[in-house]
Amino acid sequence: MTPKKRIALIAHDARKMDLLEWVDRNKSVLEKHDLCGTGTTGGLIAEKCGLDVKRYKSGPLGGDQQIGALISNMGLDIMIFFWDPMAAQPHDVDVKALLRMSVLYNVAVACNRASADFLISSPLLQREYNAEIKDYSMYIPKPI
């Protein structure tokens, strides 16, 4: 990872205002990085906080999978995902897959304000960092 991180900003409907408040409070740090987000969340951040955010589709329409593809192609360093633990999501399997991909590819993830605060205040945010990727090739079945 370079000192300029690639950060995804995602929030379920019930958590969008929490994320907007958090982004606004941390705008001076976030504006130094490349930001992306899913559908409405990315648009709200751009509109309300004045930050440049590359927008993907809404989560239920494939945005979570687009972010997952970024992760699998080594195109994301950090994911801030304020998800709603109290509501069933129509795309719950996509959310789980996205979180799985972030673990698989060693992407730093924050799912609430406390962990997001720790991530954004880490000295590693402003430096190069070597995120080691575990070799999972032993899990791939060998041809018969």
By annotation, the residues acting in catalysis are 64
Q: What are phi and psi of 53, to 5 degrees?
A: -130, 120
**Residues 46 and 26: beta-carbon distance below 8 Å:** no
Cα separations in angstroms, 131 against 1, 41, 104, 128, 136: 7, 27, 11, 10, 15
CB-CB neighbours of 72 under 10 Å: 12
**Residues 18 and 85: beta-carbon distance below 8 Å:** no
